[in-house]
Amino acid sequence: MHADPGERPGPSVELERLYPNPRTITVGELLGSLALERFAGSDRPYTIANFVESVDGRAAFQGRSGPLGSDVGDRSLFHGLREIVDAVLVGSRTLGTERYGRMTRDPERRQRRVAAGLSPEPLAVTVTRSGELSQDIPLFEEPEARIAVFAQTAVDTSRTAANVQVHRLDPGEMTMTTALRRLRVDHGVRVLLCEGGPTIFGALVEENLVDELFLTVAPSLTGGGTAPAITSGPGLAELREVTLAWALERAGTLFLRYRFER
Ligand SMILES: NC(=O)c1ccc[n+]([C@@H]2O[C@H](COP(=O)([O-])OP(=O)(O)OC[C@H]3O[C@@H](n4cnc5c(N)ncnc54)[C@H](OP(=O)(O)O)[C@@H]3O)[C@@H](O)[C@H]2O)c1
């Protein structure tokens, strides 16, 4: 199967499922039956992460993830995952580097979310210790966007058009565990999607807050350099084992899904 550059990254995009039960399957079929909200706990949302990496294990090329995730299968999964979650968590550096816009722009996706009992687009969530958020990105200029910011300093968001709620946390409380508990309790978030970056994902893994990882392996190498892997920050004391839940392929790109034990 070959990538068609003009193909829309919608739910009808087909992938080859290699494991389990090999067959051709659409992204809509794959994601439509997940119903991840069933697994939400009372203490935190069910938390999934989505990353793309190169064959040599890097999460960015020339400072951006975009060149790695250009395949229509990857974009289809990326937007498809956004379609089924209550909130999307993005680190403050990724928010600025990738110049985030609104989370769900496509009217068809917004309608499908509403039909499924969700808000038209997911709550955008970010965390910052410094309080230095890049507020000049399209997301903050979008009147319909809802954004929750967890910060340990004051953040002035009065000049943004978006609906921003800042949760001020004491430095001792400024953990991902606290942020996720507040998302569950204050915002009713049942399913949270983390789109990175590596620092935020590393913190989630370290605090044992991840339930699943959707990992796209792009058929390319970045070479040397300083680009991170999909996790950054302190290493774990012990190897964290994960279980392969599915493996799919399209045009040489691999789509892997891993489960973490709680
Ligand atoms: N391959 C992929 O799928 C993928 C996905 C996302 C990003 N990326 C790439 O990754 C790079 C950016 O990632 P990154 O690791 O540098 O940054 P990041 O994870 O997006 O954001 C890190 C920032 O989050 C805040 N933060 C982190 N831990 C925190 C905590 N426990 N409490 C409060 N705030 C916390 C800090 O913000 P303050 O500095 O404001 O305090 C920190 O500087 C970019 O090159 C991007 O393209 C790749």
Q: What's the gap in Å between 5 CA and the centre of ligand 1?
A: 30
Q: Report how far apart, in Å, the C-alpha atoms of 192 and of each of 36, 105, 132 are.
A: 10, 19, 23
Nearest to 41, CA basis, from 244, 185, 167: 185
Nearest to 209, CA basis, from 188, 181, 185: 181
Report pLDDT for 33: 87
Is the beta carbon of 204 within 6 A of some atom in ligand 1? Answer: no
Residue ranges of domains in the chain, CATH in brackets? 14-252+256-260 (3.40.430.10)
Report pLDDT for 18: 98
CB-neighbour burial class of residue 229 (10 A; exposed 0-12, middle 13-18, buried 19+): middle
Q: What's the gap in Å between 124 CA and the centre of ligand 1?
A: 15
Going residue by residue through the chain (262 aa), what tens digit of pLDDT does each one get? 334 555 788 899 999 999 999 999 999 999 998 999 999 999 999 999 999 999 999 999 999 998 998 889 999 999 999 999 999 999 999 999 999 999 999 999 999 999 999 999 999 999 999 999 999 999 999 999 999 999 999 999 999 999 999 999 999 999 999 999 999 999 999 999 999 999 999 999 999 999 999 999 999 999 999 999 999 999 999 999 999 999 999 999 999 999 998 7
Question: Residues 82, 243: contact at Cβ < 8 Å?
Answer: no
Report pLDDT for 3: 44
